[in-house]
Amino acid sequence: MAQRIMALEIDGDWVRAAVAERTWNSFGLVGLFEDQRAADEEDLSTAIKRLVGAAGKPDIVLSALPGEFVAKRMLELPFKDRRRLNQIVPFALEEHLPFPVDDAVVAFARLGQNGDQTRVIAAYASRDHIREHLELLAHAGLDPKTVTLSALALALLMARHRNGHRGSYLIVNVDHTSASLVLLDEAGAPRAMRTIATPGPARGATTPLPTAPGAAILNSVRQMMLAHQVDAEDAELVLTGSGAVLPRVSTQITEALALKVRPAEEFDLGRPFGGAPRDAARFSGCLAMLIGETPDNPAELLNFRHGEFAFHGRTGDLAPFRLSAALMAGLALLALIHFVLGLSIDLRRLHAIDAQLAAAAAPALGNGVPGSEAREKLRREIAGMRKQLKLLGENGGHGTPLNILLAVSNALRRGLPVEMTDVTIEEGTIKMTGKANSFTTIDQVKLALKRNGYFDDVQVANAKAGTDGKVDFQLSAVARETPAPAAAE
């Protein structure tokens, strides 16, 4: 049964979502949805309810915490084991936190390994922000399985679909209230990430970014390029987000940084999910979060839902289903192999039996008769022979007609005034039609056949006086399989 997955992102007064359906071996995009908070609504919960009503109730929810609430750090740690990373990462971040580590929720995702070193992106947010985010979604009837960063998910999605470019990427995701910057190196691995809280342009605006927020974004891009020694000639900047659709944003960045700016529309961000509309740039963060739930090779997203905020609903993990499906497929394959081997053995045996039948039937049928046809042909030949034997007098165990006639002749003494006009012998039964000079003579014939010991069930079927002064009669008797000694007279 398909699972409905919703990836939801909050952007100022807007809420956006990408909805997909997943089975054990497929993942397809259902649609992109967005809604805006009305002027008289206290929070976004009503807008989220409207969006869920339009998109359909999901089985699994992924949500993104607004980037301005989260601080990030890239760390290199000398561990591979995730259990040890869980223990070490919070302490490695402690010196960077503006508040005690106990007041923060720390999450991380592994980005790669170099020998014994593991590169991770660690993020932390205050417990109050996590709690408010979960309560907002709960008012709309949603309980997210994952609370992550859409900018990180977008970086992982872009790393998988680099569109032929082998240099560095600078991903700039401009929303209504913030801008997130991610640097991907030549290998496609995230090397730096930063979020700037900036009151961006309203949806539908046609003016470029205001001077102050625009300068903040441009300065952050310059600093990131200098810090990581990114050559402008080898780098490309990809614009995504709701603010990226403004007509002069691309021009402003190109003129200020001398970078090649490519809009998100040049990348098929919906390709892993069966395609997306051309206006998918606004939904790039939502689309990117879906890669954490693909049946094959899901991306590792950092998740703030642990510890106090651990998710206790259905995870929608398809691994058990895939394991069960693999076991069932293995059993089916073994059963098929067993069937094929058994069929092959049976066919070889049948071929050997056919050869033996053909060899055995050759003296009777001649060479060239297949063994598969020999049995039926022998049956037909035997039936024909039996028919010929019957014509020659064979009657199947009750003696030949000649023996029966000899027994009748021996039973009836000479001089007995009886004349047989018709005698029929069939399957050991003799039927006689004749004439006698009296009814007493007929009784004598009957008694003589019984005493002979060769016949059973001697019956006179009909006896009546004829027109010539004699008695016409019909008599039948059954020959015994084993004749008894004749009785003394």
Q: What confidence score (pLDDT) does residue 206 get?
A: 46
Q: How far is CA 329 from the centre of its chain?
A: 9
Question: Does a structural domain hold residue 364?
Answer: yes
Range of the domain at 425: 401-479
Q: In CATH, what number is assigned to the domain containing residue 295?
A: 3.30.420.380
pLDDT given at position 410: 82
Domain annotation covers residue 488: no
Distance (Å, whole) CA 389 – CA 386: 5
Domain assignment present for residue 387? The answer is yes
> What is the token pair recorded at 151?
């900018």
| pLDDT computed for residue 324 by the predictor | 64
- The sheet that has 71-77: what strands, in order across it? 71-77, 117-126, 104-114
In a domain, 303, yes or no: yes
Whether 64 and 137 share a structural domain: yes
Phi, psi at 482, each rounded to 5°: -120, 100
Residues 145 and 278 in one domain: yes
Same domain, 20 and 142: yes
Provide the pLDDT for residue 64.
Answer: 94
Do 169 and 150 lie in one domain? The reply is no
350, part of any domain: yes
Distance CA 236, CA 231 (A): 10
Residue 330 domain-assigned (yes or no): no
pLDDT value for 96: 66
Helix axes 45-55, 127-139, angle to 10 degrees: 50
Do 258 and 298 belong together in one domain? no
Same domain, 55 and 196: no
What amino acid occupies position 369?
V
String of DSSP letters for 132-170: HHHHHHHHTT---SEEE-HHHHHHHHHHH--TT--SEEE
What is the model's pLDDT at position 365?
Answer: 62
Please indicate, yes or no, whether residues 153 and 289 belong to a single structural domain of this protein.
Answer: yes
Residue 489 within a domain: no
CB neighbour class for 72 (10 Å; exposed up to 12, middle 13-18, buried from 19)? buried
- Phi, psi angles (nearest 5°) of residue 267: -115, 130
Residue 42 resides in a domain = yes
pLDDT, residue 137, reads 95
| pLDDT for the residue numbered 82 | 82
Q: What is the pLDDT of residue 203?
A: 46
| CATH number of the domain residue 461 falls in | 3.30.1360.100
Query: Is 230 in the same domain as 283?
Result: no
In the chain, the number of structural domains is: 4
Of 239, 267, 295, the residue at which a domain comes to its end is: 267
- One digit per residue, the tens of pLDDT, for the chain of length 489 reads 789 999 999 988 999 999 999 988 888 999 999 999 999 999 999 999 999 999 999 999 999 998 888 888 888 888 878 888 888 887 777 776 666 667 788 899 988 888 788 888 888 888 999 999 999 999 999 999 999 999 999 988 888 776 566 778 889 988 888 889 999 888 788 888 888 877 654 444 444 455 555 788 888 888 988 888 888 888 888 888 887 766 667 777 777 877 788 877 777 777 788 777 777 788 989 999 999 998 888 889 999 998 889 998 876 555 545 556 677 888 888 889 988 888 888 888 877 877 776 776 666 666 666 655 666 777 777 777 766 666 555 554 556 777 888 888 888 877 788 888 888 888 778 888 988 888 888 888 888 888 888 888 888 888 888 888 888 888 898 888 777 666 655
pLDDT at 209 (0 to 100)? 54
List C-alpha distances in Å: 351 to 132, 208, 341, 379: 78, 85, 15, 20
DSSP 443-454: HHHHHHHHHHSS
Residues 290, 151, single domain; the answer is yes
The rounded distance, in Å, linking the Cα atoms of 403 and 115 is 107
pTM reported for the whole predicted model? 0.62
Q: Do 223 and 140 belong together in one domain?
A: no
The residue to which tokens 């018709």 are assigned:
422
Question: What pLDDT does residue 54 have?
Answer: 94
Distances in Å between the Cα of 385 and the Cα atoms of 238, 346, 394 are 95, 34, 11
Residues 6, 134 within the same domain: yes
**Is there a single domain that holds both residue 34 and residue 140?**
yes
